[in-house]
Structure 1
């Protein structure tokens, strides 16, 4: 019994992990990527980061509906190994912010987006590239 308990506990944790979930949270909100990026929920919003060396795009939605980025301000901080870079995010279109590169990206790169949407408190959103 002593040897099977750690295995059983590890199996229960693995089955409860988000990798096994449908992509919906406890309230039925869908957190699947819609633009091929990485989705994180923060400050009651969904943030999808699409990172390419020449441009990083941050799509913003509110429970599956596009959120306005008009008047938004923001910046990106990229941490890749010992390298650190920053870039300004600018509103583009109705529901996204963009930063122009070039950017040094790779697996494990951490991206912190600090964004203030019009009329809202600042949000810090953290991503790790795969």
Structure 2
């Protein structure tokens, strides 16, 4: 029994890094990445615009439709804006108050999939 448990644990330990190696959740545009059921969302926040790049395991996802909104929380203030599909990314127009610690909630439906919520904290 001990041998089986040790073998199973070793198999899990060895399989973990191999599985993780295929995943790429690093920011490609200088933003913050969150994994969702609809894909990986990378949020790049600027005072005039919030941009969300959508990818699938590090590869840009072809977007055909998108709906939703972003809400930017800064202290007790919040600002909500609709999201629009612009080329290969999602955009919401500001003005927004952007600083380290600002929180952003994106509620988005892409390519006809049910809406997902992604929560970001800016660095």
User: Shorter-chain-normalised TM-score: which range?
Assistant: 0.7 to 0.9
SS of equivalent to 2:29? coil
Higher relative contact order (CA closer than 8 Å, sequence separation 6+): 2
Larger Rg: 2
Q: Quick check: 1:122 aligned with 2:122?
A: no
**TM-score scaled by structure 1?**
0.75
CA–CA distance in structure 1, aligned partners of residues 19 and 45 of structure 2: 24
Structure 1 gap segments, 5+ residues each = 1-23
CA–CA distance in structure 1, aligned partners of residues 64 and 49 of structure 2: 19
- Candidates 41, 46, 56, aligned match of 2:40: 46
**Paired residue for 1:78?**
72
Give the drift of 1:70: 2.1
**Paired residue for 1:109?**
102
**TM-score scaled by structure 2?**
0.79
Give the drift of 1:25: 7.0
Structure 2 gap segments, 5+ residues each = 1-17
**Root-mean-square deviation (CA), in Å?**
1.7
Give the drift of 1:120: 0.9
- Size of the aligned set, in residue pairs, is 106
SS of equivalent to 1:51? strand
Summarize deviations over 1:62-92 as a string: whole Å, max 9, x none: 1122213322101001111100110111001
CA–CA distance in structure 2, aligned partners of residues 58 and 36 of structure 1: 11
